[in-house]
Amino acid sequence: MNKIALYIPSMNGGGAERVMLALANGLAEKDIQVDLLLNRVDGPYLKDASKKVNIVNLNTSRTLRSILPLAKYLRTERPNAILSAMNYVNIVTVMAKLISNSDTKVIVSEHINLTESNKSSSTITHHILKLLMSYTYNKADKIVAVSNGVAESLIHEINIEANKLTTIYNPIFSEDLVRRSDEPVSHPWLNENALPLVLAVGRLTHQKDFATLIHAFKKVLKNKACNLIILGEGELRCELEKLIKDLNLQDNVQLPGFVNNPYAWMSKADLFVLSSIYEGFGNVLVEAMACGTPVVSTDCPSGPSEILENGRWGSLVPTNDPDSLAEAILKALNNTKFKSELVKKRAEDFSVDNSLSGYIAVFAP
């Protein structure tokens, strides 16, 4: 392979962005020429890009407007393969390939459970998006799902050709992640004499269901003194802050916002909790486990049950159930069943190298 292109709109904070950057850096370390295509050269993750990765600026304000610049790139640069991530980006990538007259192999990757995300939207625009996905995904050379649950949702929702579909788990565990987890964090709740800390990380959106976590934590506090920190930013900040105030939790719950290095926080927390109503994979679960932190997760579609092997490596509870979540949090804080060395060993199964091997096989002619 002479050149591989990876396309995602920006390097702003998000799971898909982190995955694409890890792949770009990993491919470059294997001496494969990598172009990372961005609509805009911005975002907090840019500083983590390897100097071996060539950043290509498509210079467009919206993904839809990138079709022509992307087609021109494919026509002139002719990479061996291009990988895109996220449905609207995937649609644009396939359309650009169709008008470029290039022989570049197109791989689209899906990071969300389409069945579950469809439940929260029934607009005409959403139905058009599904039709476009069905058409373009079937025109792609290969479709990568980040979990078996995502793969099943694609087959069910957009009638894709199953022989084009493969599951490759996300590239999470790396020595760099472990190194960054050792960096210091200045926060009074993370010193040696502080109360046990429960940590969650993610965008403050309906999907992550931090409201249920906060209600569950209120129940936990009735039995055990501890603190909760939720890292991330999003449109529900005001709503969550009001909930914290209404439940009189201001002294025990904080929302510090987005941080550049969540791994340093994860490694110092006593427990990590994922409360989502759906996921594609659940990167943060593996990240926390890679930091040696025990985890509790909702058994949401899809990803957590695959990562935790149906509860072997951490507790799984029903979605939108604060009682069950509170019970699991208390049990996890009060015992050491899931010891740090065990969860860290499981996280290694989702290494950058393992993921790269899968993608390199897909990129091959």
Per the rule left: phi > 0, alpha: psi between -120 and 50, beta: everything else, 138 is alpha
Q: For the CA atoms of 183, 187, 192, 194, what is the dihedral angle to 10 degrees?
A: -150
Write out pLDDT tens, residues 185-224: 999 999 878 899 999 999 999 999 999 999 999 999 999 9
Write out pLDDT tens, residues 62-92: 888 999 999 999 999 999 999 999 999 999 9
List Cα–Cα distances, 127 to 22, 64, 130, 154, 309, in angstroms. Answer: 32, 17, 5, 14, 34
Residue 339 has pLDDT above 70, yes or no: no
Q: What is the pLDDT, as a whole number, of residue 160?
A: 87
Tell which residue, 203, 327, 199, has the closest CA to residue 316.
Answer: 327
Q: What is the pLDDT, as a whole number, of residue 23?
A: 97
Cα(148)–Cα(325) distance, rounded to whole angstroms? 25
Cα(212)–Cα(362) distance, rounded to whole angstroms? 39
* Proportion of the chain above pLDDT 90, given as a percent: 82
Homologous superfamily of the 3-167 domain (CATH)? Glycogen Phosphorylase B; (3.40.50.2000)
Mention every residue, 6+ apart, whose C-beta is less than 8 A from residue 357: none
List Cα–Cα distances, 198 to 188, 296, 311, in angstroms. Answer: 14, 10, 19
Q: For the CA atoms of 276, 278, 172, 326, what is the dihedral angle to 10 degrees?
A: 30
Question: Which architecture does CATH list for 175-349?
Answer: 3-Layer(aba) Sandwich (3.40)
Phi, psi of 172 (to 5 degrees): -115, -60
The pTM of this model reads 0.92
Cα(254)–Cα(298) distance, rounded to whole angstroms? 21
Residue 10 has pLDDT above 70, yes or no: yes
- Tell me if domain 3-167 and domain 175-349 are identical in fold: yes
Structure tokens at 334: 């009060």
Cα(365)–Cα(351) distance, rounded to whole angstroms? 24
Q: Is omega for the bond preceding 351 within 30 degrees of 0, making it cis?
A: no
Residue 336 has pLDDT above 70, yes or no: no
Mention every residue, 6+ apart, whose C-beta is less than 8 A from residue 197: 189, 190, 226, 227, 228, 229, 268, 269, 270, 271
Q: What is the mean pLDDT of the chain?
A: 93
Tell which residue, 260, 263, 279, has the closest CA to residue 12.
Answer: 260
Structure tokens at 86: 């996220």
* Proportion of the chain above pLDDT 70, given as a percent: 98
Tell which residue, 293, 297, 199, 322, has the closest CA to residue 254.
Answer: 199
In this structure, are strands 253-257 and 227-231 parallel, antiparallel, or unpaired? parallel
In this structure, are strands 3-7 and 227-231 parallel, antiparallel, or unpaired? unpaired
What confidence category does residue 159 fall into, taking pLDDT thresholds of 50, 70 and 90?
confident
The number of helix segments (H) and strand segments (E) in the chain equals: 15, 13
Q: What is the pLDDT, as a whole number, of residue 121?
A: 65
Residue 350 CA from chain centroid, whole number? 13
Domain ranges, ordered by start, for the chain: 3-167, 175-349
Query: What average pLDDT does the segment 135-149 reach?
Result: 96
Mutual angle of helices 352-363 and 15-29, in 10-degree steps: 80
Count of beta carbons in the 10 Å neighbourhood of residue 115 = 17
List Cα–Cα distances, 362 to 22, 52, 80, 108, in angstroms. Answer: 17, 22, 11, 11
Give 227's strand partners. Answer: 197
How big is the CA angle at 115 (ends 110 and 118), to the nearest 5 degrees? Answer: 100
Q: What is the pLDDT, as a whole number, of residue 202?
A: 95
Cα(4)–Cα(80) distance, rounded to whole angstroms? 6
